[in-house]
């Protein structure tokens, strides 16, 4: 992956030393060195390969950004550590030196699309309610799903005292003998156990839940437990907040 050039003052600010404005002052007052040379002009661009020092000391925290897409298997938690000692999604990763963390949560028994990154800015943007990132779930539920039963979800139902935003819901399959159904539901909120709670609310308790899509990401090419790095083009789309999902159904 080519190194991305960024403004020197941004890199210094990101390293947590100071604000961007103060970083500019550090530069103009001759306290910053790039590859051993003092730089006093603002706006020069540097990459991860450049050695940056402030008052002669290398800046810390310039961890290379990494972006991963996992097909989360059942039976792992998405927290970084689990008080019950259960396996976490981080235990699955091999050869990733950076400390990444999951973008949002999936339950222990939920499978599917999970992004992980050490880029806090992008993670926060994705999780911000204003971004309205679409999440597509396929749920196997107990009971016979009908349009009437699912209708309240399209308007919003009250869960833990708060109404959910309207969801898009479709019935994919009904097994009348087994009295089970497959329901696809698209939401952009990200409350804890939201899909299970919503379907429970309309009398269709969830037996199995998979997240098929998150923003424009899906599970193509990823077996359960597998993960891959995002492509440059995918990272770029995240950076410009182009979260739309163009998948045709």
Q: Catalytic residue numbers?
A: 107
Nearer to ligand URA, 190 or 241 (CB): 190
The yes or no reply on residue 114 touching ligand URA (CB under 6 A) is no
Nearer to ligand URA, 71 or 110 (CB): 110
Size of the site for ligand URA (CB under 6 A): 8
Tell me how far, at minimum, the Cβ of 196 lies from ligand URA, in Å: 3
Residues 6+ apart with CB under 8 A from 161: none
Tell me how far, at minimum, the Cβ of 121 lies from ligand URA, in Å: 23
Tell me how far, at minimum, the Cβ of 114 lies from ligand URA, in Å: 10
| Cα–Cα dist 19/107, whole Å | 37
Nearer to ligand URA, 172 or 242 (CB): 172
| Cα–Cα dist 201/104, whole Å | 23
Alpha carbon 89 to chain centroid, angstroms: 13
Residues 6+ apart with CB under 8 A from 90: 80, 100, 101
Tell me how far, at minimum, the Cβ of 193 lies from ligand URA, in Å: 4
* Cα angle for residues 112, 117, 119 (degrees, 5° grid): 145
Nearer to ligand URA, 26 or 69 (CB): 69
Within residues 156-215, the interface with ligand URA by CB under 6 A covers 193-196, 209
Dump strand ranges (E) for 42-167: 45-46, 52-54, 57-58, 67-72, 101-102, 110-117, 135-142, 158-159, 162-163
CB-based contact 7:28 (threshold 8 Å): no
Of positions 4, 48, 63, 107, contacts ligand URA by CB under 6 A: 107
Of positions 71, 110, 180, 181, contacts ligand URA by CB under 6 A: 110
Q: Under the rule (CB under 6 A), what is the footprint of ligand URA?
A: 106-107, 110, 193-196, 209
């Amino acid at each position: 992956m080519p190194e991305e050039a960024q403004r020197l003052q941004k890199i210094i600010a990101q390293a947590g030393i100071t604000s961007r404005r103060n970083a500019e002052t550090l530069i103009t007052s001759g306290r910053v060195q790039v590859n051993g040379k003092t730089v006093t002009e603002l706006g020069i661009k540097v990459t991860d390969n450049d050695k940056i020092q402030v008052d002669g000391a290398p800046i810390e925290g310039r961890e290379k950004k990494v972006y991963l897409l996992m097909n989360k298997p059942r039976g792992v938690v998405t927290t970084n550590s689990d008080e019950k000692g259960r396996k976490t999604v981080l235990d699955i990763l091999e050869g990733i030196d950076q400390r990444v963390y999951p973008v949002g949560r999936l339950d222990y028994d939920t499978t599917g699309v999970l992004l992980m990154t050490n880029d806090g800015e992008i993670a926060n943007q994705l999780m911000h309610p204003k971004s309205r990132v679409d999440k597509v779930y396929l749920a196997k539920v107990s009971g016979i799903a009908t349009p009437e039963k699912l209708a309240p979800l399209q308007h919003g139902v009250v869960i833990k005292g708060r109404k959910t935003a309207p969801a898009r819901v479709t019935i994919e399959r009904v097994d009348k003998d087994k009295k089970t159904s497959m329901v696809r539901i698209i939401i952009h909120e990200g409350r804890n156990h939201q899909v299970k709670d919503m379907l429970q609310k309309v009398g269709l308790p969830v037996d199995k839940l998979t997240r098929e899509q998150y923003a424009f990401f899906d599970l193509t090419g990823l077996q359960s437990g597998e993960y891959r790095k995002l492509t440059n083009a995918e990272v770029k789309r995240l950076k410009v907040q182009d979260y739309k999902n163009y998948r045709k159904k």
